[in-house]
A = this chain, B = another copy of it.
Amino acid sequence: MDIKDYVLELARGAREASRGLAALSTEEKNTGLEAMARALEEKIADIRSANEQDVEKGKKAGLSSALVDRLTLTEARFEKMVDGVRAIIELPDPVGEVMREWKRPNGLVISKVRVPLGVICMIYESRPNVTVDASSLCLKSGNAAILRGGKEALATNRALASVMSGALEESDVPGSAVCMIETPDRSAVDELLKLDEYIDVVIPRGGEGLIRAVVDKSRIPVIKHYRGNCHVYIDGAADLDMAKEIIVNAKCQRPGVCNAMETLLVHRGIAEKLLPDVARLLLERNVELRGCPATLKIVGEAGPARESDWREEYLDLILAVRVVEGLDEAIEHIEEYGSRHSDAIVTEDEAAAQAFLKRVDSATVFWNCSTRFSDGGEFGFGAEIGISTDKIHARGPMALEELTTYKYIVRGSGQVRS
C-alpha cells in the first residue's frame, strides 16, 4: 500500500471510531482507560525492550545525550506515565456539559452542549510518554487520536500504541481510538495534513521549526504552541524580597521549559537597590546575565545584551535584563519582543498591577507570583496537552475542556420561521 492510501485508511478508521467514542458514557471511557493502564503494566517488559532498541539505535546514530535522555523510558518514567492514565480516569468528563440553555420568545429551547472535537492529530518529537498522555486525554474527551511521534522513538511508540489499542479492543472502546502512524516516512505527515475531511484539528508539540512546518502545510486547523519568551517586570512599588524570590524561581527552578523567565525588566527607581542582590543570587546559580547599558553600570558581571537577546527564548541559565522608565516602557517592551505566553508584574501598587494585567496581551498574566505557574497541573486542570500561544479556540494551558467543541440543540413544538 502506498503512503497516501495508508494514511487515508488510517484517518478514515479514526473518523469511524470517533463516532463510537462520542456516544460512550463516562464509565465506558474510564473502563477503557483502566484497561489501557493495566495492559501497559502487563506488557512493561515488551515496551521497555522496544525502548532499548530505540535508545541503542539513537546512540549509534549519534543523538545528543539530551535527546537520548528524553527518549529513554526508565522504570520511574514508565510508572509516572501509567499513573497519568489513572489520574485522567479521576478527572470530570467534559462531554455532555450544558454550557448554556435559554428559551426564545417563540418557545424554542436552545442548549449549547459540549461535545468532542472528533479526530485529533498529535505530531510530536521524541518523548514517548506523549503517546500515552495524548491518547488518554483524547479518549477521556471522546476524541479519536492520530499519533505521529518522532522517528527516534518509533519502536517504543509502536509498542505503546499496539498495547493500548489491543486493550481497548477488549473493552467497549473502538481500538481505532488510538491510531499510530507507523512509518517514519515524512510524506505521511504531508498527506495527513491534507485530510481536513477526516481530521478536525492538529496539535503539534515540539520546537518552533516543527510547528511552522505543520502550519505551512496544513489544510486542517492547527493549535500552536510556539515560544515562551516570558517576562517578569519588577515595578517601582515592588516588595523587593518577594521580587527576588520570584526572579530566582522564574529563572532557575526549571530553565528549560516554556514558562521560565527569559527577560527581567526592572523599574529605574529600584534598579540600584535590587539588581546587585539579584545578580548575586543568579550568579550563585550559574545564570549568565546579559544587560542593557543601565544594567551594565549596576552589575559589573553582566555582559551586554544585543537586540536579539530581547527576542530569544534561551531555555537555559541565561537571563536578559533591562532597566525601564516604568510601567509603560515595560508593557511596550513585552508587546514588541514577547511571545504572548506568560508575563508577570511584581508590585504592591494595585493600579499598576491592574494596568499591567489588562494591557499585556498574553495567554496568562501574573501579579506577584512566578511565571512557572503557567501550567495545566498548577491551574488545577489535572493534566495538560500543551500550552497554546494561539488565540483561536484555546489559549494558555490546554486540558480536557480544550479538546472539546460544542453543538446547539434546539427543541421545538412545530415552530417555523416567518
- A residues neighboring B (CB under 8 Å): 19, 22-23, 102, 104, 108, 110, 115, 117-118, 196, 200-201, 215-216, 219, 221-223, 239, 242, 245-246, 248-250, 253, 335, 357-359, 361-370, 372-374, 378-380, 390-393, 395-397, 405-418
B117 touching A391, Cβ below 8 Å: yes
Distance A253 CA – B118 CA, assembled complex (angstroms): 33
Once A365-B408, A396-B408, A407-B396 are accepted as A-B contacts, the answer to whether A417 and B373 lie under 8 Å apart by CB is: yes
The residue in chain B whose Cβ has the minimal distance to the Cβ of A102 is B380
User: What's the nearest-Cβ distance from chain B to residue A204, in Å?
Assistant: 14
The residue in chain B whose Cβ has the minimal distance to the Cβ of A412 is B369
**In the A-B complex, the 9 residue pairs with the closest CB atoms:** A369-B412, A249-B416, A372-B417, A393-B393, A369-B415, A242-B414, A391-B405, A364-B408, A221-B392
Distance A405 CA – B413 CA, assembled complex (angstroms): 35
User: What's the nearest-Cβ distance from chain B to residue A343, in Å?
Assistant: 11
The residue in chain B whose Cβ has the minimal distance to the Cβ of A245 is B416
Distance A2 CA – B248 CA, assembled complex (angstroms): 49
Task: Report B-chain residues with C-beta under 8 Å of the C-beta of A378.
Answer: 104, 108, 417
Distance A215 CA – B216 CA, assembled complex (angstroms): 11
Interchain CB contact (< 8 A) of A405 among B221, B365, B392: B392
The residue in chain B whose Cβ has the minimal distance to the Cβ of A243 is B414
Once A201-B391, A391-B117, A392-B221 are accepted as A-B contacts, the answer to whether A357 and B409 lie under 8 Å apart by CB is: yes
Task: Report B-chain residues with C-beta under 8 Å of the C-beta of A200.
Answer: 391-392
Task: Report B-chain residues with C-beta under 8 Å of the C-beta of A361.
Answer: 19, 22, 115, 118, 407
B417 touching A239, Cβ below 8 Å: no
User: What's the nearest-Cβ distance from chain B to residue A224, in Å?
Assistant: 9
A369 touching B410, Cβ below 8 Å: yes
Task: Report B-chain residues with C-beta under 8 Å of the C-beta of A216.
Answer: 219
Once A118-B361, A200-B391, A221-B221 are accepted as A-B contacts, the answer to whether A373 and B409 lie under 8 Å apart by CB is: no
Task: Report B-chain residues with C-beta under 8 Å of the C-beta of A22.
Answer: 358-359, 361
Distance A196 CA – B212 CA, assembled complex (angstroms): 11
Distance A362 CA – B239 CA, assembled complex (angstroms): 53
Most chain B CB neighbours (cut-off 10 Å) among A118, A221, A250, A380:
A221
Distance A378 CA – B412 CA, assembled complex (angstroms): 13
A23 touching B359, Cβ below 8 Å: yes
The residue in chain B whose Cβ has the minimal distance to the Cβ of A332 is B19
Task: Report B-chain residues with C-beta under 8 Å of the C-beta of A369.
Answer: 108, 410-416
Task: Report B-chain residues with C-beta under 8 Å of the C-beta of A392.
Answer: 117, 200-201, 221, 223, 392-393, 405
